[in-house]
Amino acid sequence: MAKSVQERSAKAAQKRLAVAEKELRHKVRPGIEQAMERIRLRGQVPIISEVLQIAIMKMDLMADAQLIEFLRYPRHEIVISENVARDFHNESLRELKRDPGDEIGSPSQPLVD
């Protein structure tokens, strides 16, 4: 005779307790979810949780320097050239001349109150 839903759920719960399985919940934005799905498909892994478990195990095998570099979040570096800084400064001075009232200082010298 087939087991009821409750019996199957109880048996699954017992198995999870026996292997000390723990459910972790993590919220992700759509871009991360899409990236995980692409990785899952490329790696031909059936479920996302398996992809994450494999990734964690592989990261655990990395040397510290490798892991630090791997986990470094990609950030955009904003570099303002001297030309842009000069143009911005000159435009700011033009605006101040049109509407006086604020103090004028150069970018290399901070304004003094």
Does 7 have pLDDT greater than 60? yes
Helical H segments across 1-113, by residue range: 5-18, 30-42, 48-61, 64-71, 82-98
Task: Tell me whether residue 52 is in a domain.
Answer: yes
Contact 36, 48 (CB under 8 A): yes
Which one-letter DSSP state was computed for residue 43?
A: T
* CA-based torsion, 76, 49, 43, 39: positive or negative: negative
Instruction: Please report whether residue 39 resides in a domain.
Output: yes
| Distance separating alpha carbons of residues 12 and 15, to the nearest angstrom | 5
Question: Would you say residue 90 lies in a domain?
Answer: no
Domain contains 31 = yes
Q: How far apart are the first and last CA of the chain?
A: 86
Q: Is 109 among the domain residues?
A: no
As a whole number, mean pLDDT of residues 62-71 equals 94
Q: Is residue 93 part of a domain?
A: no
Tell me if 94 is assigned to some domain.
no
What is the number of domains present in the chain? 1
* Domain region containing 47: 24-74
pTM above threshold 0.75: no
Q: For residue range 69-103, what is the model confidence (pLDDT) as tens digits?
A: 999 988 888 899 999 999 999 998 898 888 776 56
